[in-house]
Each structure stands twice: as structure tokens, then as C-alpha cells.
Amino acid sequence: MSDVSQQTETGQTTPKPSGGRKYEREVANFVALTGDLAAGRLEWSSRPYYLEYSTNSACNLRCIMCSQVENPPVVSTPLDLQEDLLDALLPLTTIWTPSATSEPLLNNFKRLRPMLEKHQVALDIITNAMLLTPAVLEGMLPFLHRLTLSVDSHKPEVFEKLRAPADFATVIEHSRHATRVCREHGIPVVYHMVLAHECLPDLEDYVDFVADLGGSRITVLELLPNSPQFQELDPFQRDGEQHVAARLESMRARAEERGVGIFFEVREPLGGEYNYAPVASRINSGTVLEMMHGELGIQHEGFCPMVAGYFKVEPDGRAYPCCRAPVELELGNVLEEGFEGVWNGEKMQKLRKRMFERDYPQPCVGCAVLEGPRWRAEARRREAGETE
């Protein structure tokens, strides 16, 4: 293996952002993380393997459960800063989701393609599918790590109420095509459903709908209070936790029957992972790194897996340790302080300390991301035939 890491005076292994092959640097970076975690360090030599960043915050829809419904101004990274920023962020990034609570397909991939090639980064695309034409999919295929389609309901009237001004027929046509093509290429496809009151009565039919589209994996997301319509959409307030629990159990049973994997990213005790389908996988370093981070997350249960390996940058440079990006966890601004200044800055070190001590900041308490490693471990035991 070529020289992709170096020893510091304290014996830490620091992965070099350049030099050697990309996969060698990715492995060195992962090993550095195991050292950072095991030693309880606050200043890390490892770098995030997963980046969330979009050059702009634009969206083509105004979904009523999303903050975009309030028409926030579109923010973009100044064009002359984009390349330098990506050169700073991408060398040790394995997977990149180009979103900022926005539509990733509104990035200019023609302009970004040379950066993807230069840094050998794979794309994790979570899209509303309105712009996912066969031609757009074709252009992304060589870089695609995973495709997630946000289709909250199989009923046109419910879907179009939640996702205005999306057109149900267009979304379904694009989704059906993309699911088939990705399947042929061994690329995992996930269907995202935001759990709204309107979706609750027909969760079993939704599983059938996804299976009939060729899908084999569903993630049910708990509705977060991101829009003024939260109260009227929230099934926990409208229908009560007991009813939600019964409906999710019925959905799980149908998923088992249909061989569709399901992940409930919802509050305890309703969250869980059920791997009823093997996830199609074109094995790339993203697949392997995700598995390794999954294992590490189980080993360090209680230390948020996103704080360990994820980094979110808004188009204006503000950075966060996770996708939910609560203002309380803002880490600084990479356009002002540089990546290193934020990644090992005072706020990040303080957050790592609190994670090691399991003394969580308020936004982390009860967060489904923090519970994920335990759900994965439970799924593993279930699959091995052990009772819980």
C-alpha cells in the first residue's frame, strides 16, 4: 500500500488527504476514526466520510410538511468559491448527498461532474423524482451509490396534497423507470415515506404499491416539526401513539409478507429495522465504508454515528454535525474558518466530549439517528434467530 497516512508525535495516525489511491485513503481514514473513538480524543485525525452539501438551497416543490413551504430565499455558494470548497471537502469523502433541505437534481451536475471524477466520490441522491427523467438518471448512473425516492403515498390525492405542486403520474413514471434501471445495475433504491396523518389508514397498501413498482426497501420517517402545518399533519397528536403503533405493526407484517425491507425512523419504542429483502448492491467503497461505519456505530452505541462520520455544509458555509442541523449544533462556517477550523474547532470538540460522556445536547435527546445502531444490532439478533 502506498503511503496514505502519517504518525503524529502523539502516535495518532493521520490520513493524508491526497496521495495513494482513493480507496487506500478511505481505509486509512476509517482506521484513524477507530483510533479517535477508542482513545476518546477530542481533536480528530480522521475526517468525515459522508458529506451533505448542495451548491444551492432551491427546490421545485413546496411540500406542506417541509420548511420550503414558507418560500425561504434561495441561497447559493458564490460560483468562484465552489471549486475550492469542494477541493477542501471531497478528498476524504466517500459518499456525497448534494442537498440542503432542497432538491439535489437542481445542482448543475454537468459542472460538478469533473469534481466527482477527480475525487472519486459516490452520490447518495434523495429526490422528489419530478426531475428524474431517464436522461438525468443515465447521466448519474456511473456515480450513483444509492437512490432514494420520496413518495409519501400511493394515493394521488394524498400525494399531491402533501407534495404540491408535484404531479403524481410523472413521479410514478420516473420512479418505476429508475427502480428498474437501478435494479439492473445493482444500485439500492429506497422509498421514503414521511409519516403523516393522511398516510396512516393505508400503510399496508403502500407496501404493496412499492413492491409492485419493483421496490424492495422502505424508510418511514417520523414527521419533524419543520412547517407551520405540523400539528394538523402529525399522527402522534392526531391519532395517538397507540394507534400509530398498531398501524406500523400492520405495515411491518405486510412488508414481511411481501419481502420488502423496512426501517422505521421514528421515536422509541416504535423505531426499528427489518431486513426482509437483501439490499441490491453494486459493491463500491461507499457500500463497504457504510458497512464498516455501521459496525463501528454498534461498537460505540451512544456516540452519534453522524457526529462520528457525517458533515453537513449549507450553501452559505455554515456547518453542522448531522442532517437535522438544529441551530443549537451549528459548528461554524467553513467559508470563513476553513474545513479544518470547523472540524476540529472548539464547538466540535465540545460536542465530541459530550458524546463520549453521553451528556447529550438537547436536540440529540430522543433523536432516531442516535438509536439507529441499537436497532441495527436488534435486527442482527432477530435475523440470527435470537429472541429479544
Sole window of 5-13, 198-206, 222-230, 310-318 interacting with ligand SAM (rule: CB under 6 A): 222-230
Q: Which does residue 196 touch among ligand SF4, ligand SAM, none (CB within 5 to 8 A, set by kind)?
A: none
Q: Which does residue 62 touch among ligand SAM, ligand SF4, none (CB within 5 to 8 A, set by kind)?
A: ligand SF4
Q: Which does residue 105 touch among ligand SAM, ligand SF4, none (CB within 5 to 8 A, set by kind)?
A: none
Alpha-helical segments (H) within 90-155: 109-119, 134-140
> Is residue 195 within 8 Å of 221, Cβ to Cβ?
yes
Closer CB to ligand SAM, 91 or 315, in the complex: 315
Among 5, 12, 68, 148, binds ligand SF4 (CB under 6 A): 68
Best CA proximity match to 31, nearest among 61, 60, 59, 1: 1
Among 187, 221, 244, 325, binds ligand SAM (CB under 6 A): 221
Sole window of 101-109, 235-243, 270-278, 365-373 interacting with ligand SF4 (rule: CB under 6 A): 101-109
Best CA proximity match to 146, nearest among 181, 106, 105, 189: 189
Instruction: Write the interaction track for ligand SF4 spanning residues 120-139; mark x where CB under 6 A is met and - where it is not.
Output: --------x-----------
Closer CB to ligand SF4, 100 or 189, in the complex: 100
Closer CB to ligand SAM, 46 or 97, in the complex: 97
What CA–CA distance (Å, rounded) separates 127 from 16?
A: 33
> Is residue 143 within 8 Å of 116, Cβ to Cβ?
yes
> Is residue 82 within 8 Å of 335, Cβ to Cβ?
no
Kind and range of the H or E run holding 353: helix 346-356
Please tell me the number of Cα atoms within 13 Å of 248 on its side-chain side.
32
Closer CB to ligand SAM, 14 or 76, in the complex: 76
With binding defined as CB under 6 A, does residue 285 bind ligand SF4? no
Q: Which does residue 120 touch among ligand SAM, ligand SF4, none (CB within 5 to 8 A, set by kind)?
A: none
Among 22, 41, 62, 374, binds ligand SF4 (CB under 6 A): 62
With binding defined as CB under 6 A, does residue 107 bind ligand SF4? no
With binding defined as CB under 6 A, does residue 162 bind ligand SAM? no
Q: Count residues binding ligand SF4 (CB under 6 A).
A: 11
Spell 314-338 as b/e; 16+ CB within 10 A means b. bbebbbbbbebbeeebebbbbbeee
What beta strand segments (E) does 8-79 contain?
A: 13-15, 50-53
Closer CB to ligand SAM, 15 or 98, in the complex: 98
Among 31, 42, 61, 279, binds ligand SF4 (CB under 6 A): 61
- Give the β-pairing of 272-274 and 261-265: antiparallel
What CA–CA distance (Å, rounded) separates 180 from 75?
A: 34
Cβ-based neighbour number of residue 223 at 10 Å: 21
Contact residues for ligand SAM (CB under 6 A)? 59, 63, 65-66, 99, 101, 103, 126-128, 150, 192, 194, 221, 223-224, 226
